[in-house]
Amino acid sequence: MRKNLAVTVMVDSPCIPQEDPEFAKRGPSDSTEYNVIRALRWLGHRVRILGVGNDVAAIIAALTEQQPDVVFNLTEQFGDDRQKDSNIAALLEMMAVPFTGSGALGLTLCRSKALCKQLLVAHRLRVPGYAVLPPGAAALVPRSLKYPLVVKPLYEDGSDGIANASLVRSENELRERAAMVHERFQQPAIAEEYIEGRELYVSVLGNGRLTVLPPRELTFGNSDNGGPVMATYRLKWDKAYQEKWKIKFGFGDLEPSVDQQVARLCKKAYRLLQIRDYGRLDLRLTDNNMVYILEANPNPNIGRDDELAQSASKAGIGYAALISRIVRFALRRYGTVL
């Protein structure tokens, strides 16, 4: 690949450190923005940073001035609104600027935890039974749904709004938790059947011919003694809590036949949901080897410590090579010969 591409890295404005707006210093190692920008510079590319706040005209002006060969899209929101991540992709599409990751369609299909399930079910992929609970209506679920249920905001990510209390065992608990979601997130809740099983994160790379990376597994060491059984917000982000409950993020060792089945289902879901360049499927694998897709993530976290980079590293793809591949996948989609 050409070494000196003009790459504009688009990031959410709040992620830009005031004292280092060009990400030139050695930043905190756990910041995805620092990780990606440093890798791109190491690869020899000319990197510009574009912070996205709530000003569309400013984005258009900056891109018109910068004329990048490609945008590395790390944005997750527009004007504090996560549901508008797809609008940023749509803007880049309208401006005909090549960019990494999923387009407006893929981001939209995966944004609603109900819409993506409808598509998966229609193509015979297994997902938990679910019901959507809109604000202002009685929190009722069909009798066919078996408790315990997991109650989540319909449109959020990163385990936002998911706590141990999201696992409800009665109609009363369901009503309470749904009301909490409505009030705090101003959006519908989704109630899903709780799937007991191993928790796997499967990352996929590419377009057309896809590469499924070695699965990561989250193990809940103390679930028999009242410990957490789900990747709640606290569990994901609080190291002391992880230690206290013997939570381990590692690799999932699967029997070859199960591994193949998982890979096949993940590729199918990735294609179906129009995910591009890189993505991650969150799964549960039951005792009798049934694979449930909990969630599909277009543009998943790609910091060095995140699941996707860990899986890539296990497959022998170092961090800079991973970032380089993502840029290459993106440019190929636009027909750029590298």
SS (H, E, C) 182-234: HHHHCCCEEEEECCCCEEEEEEEEECCCCEECCCEEEEECCHHHCCCCCCCHH
> Does 306 interact with ligand ADP (rule: CB under 6 A)?
no
Binding flag, residue 76, ligand ADP (CB under 6 A)? no
Give min distance, CB of 206 to Mg ion, in A. Answer: 21
Q: Which of residues 12, 33, 192, 217 is near ligand ADP by CB under 6 A?
A: 192
Which residues in 316-334 are b (16+ Cβ under 10 Å) and which e? ebebbebbbbbbbbbbbbe
Q: Which of 43, 70, 107, 230 binds ligand ADP (CB under 6 A)?
A: 230
The token pair that represents 16 in the structure block: 């830009």
**In contact, 218 and 197? CB cutoff 8 Å:** no
Contact range with ligand ADP by CB under 6 A, out of 30-38, 152-160, 237-245, 256-264: 152-160
Orientation of helix 307-314 relative to helix 319-333, angle to 10°: 100
Number of residues that bind Mg ion (CB under 5 A): 2
Number of residues binding to ligand ADP, judged by CB under 6 A: 20
Compute the residue count for the chain: 338
193 contacts Mg ion (rule: CB under 5 A): no
Among positions 12, 33, 76, 156, the unique one binding ligand ADP when judged by CB under 6 A: 156
Q: Which stretch binds Mg ion (CB under 5 A): 22-30, 148-156, 267-275, 295-303?
A: 295-303
Q: With binding defined as CB under 6 A, does residue 150 bind ligand ADP?
A: yes
Which position among 159, 207, 289, 301 is part of the footprint of ligand ADP (CB under 6 A)?
159
**Closest of 198, 142, 138, 148 to residue 173, by C-alpha:** 148
Q: Min. distance of Cβ 282 from Mg ion in angstroms? A: 4
Nearer to Mg ion, 283 or 330 (CB): 283
> Binding pattern to Mg ion, positions 252-291, x when CB under 5 A?
------------------------------x---------
Number of Cβ within 10 Å of residue 272's Cβ equals 16
> Residue 86 contacts by C-beta under 8 Å, 6 or more apart in sequence?
104, 105, 107, 108, 111
* Residue 131 binds to ligand ADP (criterion: CB under 6 A): no
Given the complex with Mg ion, which of 63 and 231 has the nearer CB atom? 231
Q: How far from the centroid of its chain's Cα atoms is residue 99's Cα? A: 17
The stretch near ligand ADP (CB under 6 A) out of 64-72, 168-176, 193-201, 315-323 is 193-201
3-class DSSP state of 106 = helix
Q: Which is nearer to ligand ADP, 78 or 194 (CB)?
A: 194
Question: CB under 5 to 8 A by kind: which of ligand ADP, Mg ion, none does 199 bind?
Answer: ligand ADP
Residues 269-288 that bind ligand ADP (CB under 6 A): 282, 284
| 154 near ligand ADP, rule: CB under 6 A | no
Nearest to 161 by CA among 88, 230, 219: 230
Distance CA 13, CA 67 (A): 20
Is the distance from CB of 218 to CB of 249 less than 8 angstroms?
Answer: yes
Nearest Cα neighbor of 197 from 268, 87, 295, 286 is: 286
Rounded to 5 degrees, φ, ψ at 78 are -130, 125
The yes or no reply on residue 33 touching ligand ADP (CB under 6 A) is no
Q: Which is nearer to ligand ADP, 82 or 268 (CB)?
A: 82
Number of H helices, E strands in the chain: 11, 13
Query: Between 107 and 150, whose beta carbon lies closer to ligand ADP?
Result: 150
Query: Distance (Å, rounded) from C-alpha 127 to C-alpha 116?
Result: 10
Which residues contact Mg ion (rule: CB under 5 A)?
Answer: 282, 295
Which residues contact ligand ADP (rule: CB under 6 A)?
Answer: 128, 150, 152, 156-160, 162, 192-195, 199, 230-231, 282, 284, 294-295
